[in-house]
Amino acid sequence: MIALFWLAFVLVVYTYIGYPILVVLLARLKPESNPPSIESWPAVSVVVPFCNEAHRVGSKLATLRALDYQGQLQIIFVSDGEEDGTADAVRGCVKDGVDTIILPHRSGKPTALNAAIETARHDLVLFTDARQKLDAHALTRLVLRIQEPNVAAVSGELVLVDKDDKARIGLYWRYEKLIRQAESHLLSVPGVTGALYIMRKEYIRPLPADTLLDDFEMPLPALRDNQRILFESGALIFDQVSEDIKREKARKVRTLTGNFQSFLRHRWLFFPWKNPIWWQFISHKVFRLCVPYWLLILLVLPLFLDGYFYTPFFIAQLAFYVLAIGNARGWPLCKGGIGSVALLFSELNLAAVQAAWCYFFQPVDARWERTA
């Protein structure tokens, strides 16, 4: 039992501390490459799916028209069904030079994306969601990066803002961004930001209709072909912080549920001779889904082990989780930095357990629900 305890301890520490340190250090050892120069900017097809979002069609078109990109744009709007006025709003964009697709009934985002890809005329395809506002330079930065050798996809950075348009960059996102930047520089990131990414059309494959995590699955054919997937922190897209905590938690669970689906669908990811970023994939994606069970081992085993270390360690864990509960309930002594970290850590790991339950014991539904 002692060996099992310490194995779980090492794996948890490696997942959240060891791996980030290692990948950052290795990335810093790799020399910087000079960005390519572009004489003639390539044409880009822009895909935007809408679902019951009639009020966002006009603002999305405006943010796309405000881009400073010098190349030709083909804008494709897809309405996923005609449940409200979204289809009519999308049809109204034809006069503005937008290619429009109206699906006869609500089918889910993967089906909407597949339909749009068939209409895309250009070799580069930009994917962006309906509600977010793009920075004027976002597309230019993405296109510049995808010109680098062996790059098939480039992901932008999602920035959350409050009602006053002030950025909320929390500790967790700073941590995630540091890891993604290092993974990108070292070789590739395991997935893209669904709100904004660009891909070479030759690597795009139709998504199964029940796909939950299109932003993870879409770049996989390129990755398997030893192409790189990059993260460009200068390509910004802005979204409002969700005020509905329950919806935000549901979004996290749905995202993690999609991980289980994708992992079982693409089992080649688990073989190092097939997956060029096997170490990054296992360390960043897979181990995080395993951490809740390692934490359970760390909580339970000290009750059965002798030694001066195990009892204080058990008490410290209980105190940590009490802090998390207290922070969630607004207890005065549990507010502040440590309580917030405890709550975030607990919620992320609870979401991973809920995601496993949802995938293996509940039916999968690829139809989307808004979180903001």
Strands 228-240 and 133-134: antiparallel
CA 57 to chain centre: 23
**Global confidence as pTM:** 0.89
Q: What is the pLDDT of residue 364?
A: 64
Q: What is the pLDDT along the chain (372 residues), one digit of tens a residue?
A: 889 999 999 999 999 999 999 999 999 999 887 777 788 899 999 999 998 888 899 999 999 999 999 999 999 999 998 777 888 999 999 988 999 999 988 888 999 999 999 999 999 999 999 989 999 999 999 999 999 999 999 999 988 876 555 545 567 778 888 999 999 999 999 989 889 999 999 999 999 999 999 999 999 999 999 999 999 999 999 987 665 556 667 778 888 899 999 999 999 999 999 999 999 999 999 999 999 999 999 999 999 888 889 999 999 999 999 989 888 888 877 777 788 888 889 989 999 999 999 888 876 665 555 544
What angle (nearest 5°) sits at the alpha carbon of residue 172, between those of residues 10 and 361? Answer: 70
Q: What is the pLDDT of residue 308?
A: 85
Burial of 351 (0-12, 13-18, 19+ CB in 10 A): buried
Name the phi and psi angles at 46, rounded to 5.
Answer: -110, 120
Count Cβ atoms below 10 Å from residue 197 Cβ, excluding itself.
27
Nearest to 158 by CA among 109, 188, 197, 125: 197
Count Cβ atoms below 10 Å from residue 40 Cβ, excluding itself.
7
Q: What is the pLDDT of residue 252?
A: 81
User: How far apart, in whole angstroms, are the C-alpha atoms of residue 93 and residue 57?
Assistant: 8
User: How far apart, in whole angstroms, are the C-alpha atoms of residue 196 and residue 66?
Assistant: 16
Q: What is the pLDDT of residue 39?
A: 82
CA 152 to chain centre: 17
Tokens 């960005």 belong to 35
| Per-residue tokens: 136 | 């004027």
- Percentage of residues in the chain with pLDDT exceeding 70? 93
Nearest to 84 by CA among 109, 47, 63, 57: 57
Domains, the chain, ranges and CATH? Answer: 2-17+275-361 (no CATH), 44-241 (3.90.550.10)
Count Cβ atoms below 10 Å from residue 141 Cβ, excluding itself.
21
HSE-up (13 A, CA, CB side) for residue 298: 23
Residues 6+ apart with CB under 8 A from 89: 50, 54, 57, 58, 79
Q: What sections of 30-98 are H helices per DSSP?
A: 54-65, 86-91
| Per-residue tokens: 324 | 């998390």
User: How far apart, in whole angstroms, are the C-alpha atoms of residue 78 and residue 47?
Assistant: 8
